Amino acid sequence: MRLAIFVSLALATAFASFGVSACEPWAEYNEKIAKTQGDYQAAVNTAYKSYYYGVRYNKADWENAVGTALTNYMTESRAAYNNHMVVGCWW
C-alpha cells in the first residue's frame, strides 16, 4: 500500500513539475516574430521615406540601410524560431 501511495505521489510531482517547467507558449513566439517583422518594416519604411522624400541617399546608402534591416530581421527571426523549437510548449 505504501508503495502505491509513494508511486502515485512521485508521478503527481513529476507531472506537476513538467507542467510548470519553463517553456515558450505559441503566443510568445508569435509576439517575437511580429515584433521582428514590425522592426524590419519600420526600418525599410524609414529608408524609403529618406530616399524618396528628401535626403536622396545614393544607391549604396539605400542598400546598406535595407541590408542592415534584412540582416537584423533574419537574425532575430531565426533566433526566435530556434528558441521555440528548443523550449516551445509541445503538449
Q: What share of the chain is helix, strand, coil (3-state, %, to 5)?
A: 80, 0, 15
In the chain, domain spans: 23-87
Question: What are the two backbone dihedrals, phi and then psi, of residue 24, each rounded to the nearest 5 degrees?
Answer: -100, 115
Given a cut of 70, the residues of the chain with pLDDT beneath it are 1-21, 52-58, 90-91
Q: What is the pLDDT of residues 15-35, one digit of tens each?
A: 444 444 578 788 888 898 999
8 A C-beta contact, residue 22 and residue 87: yes
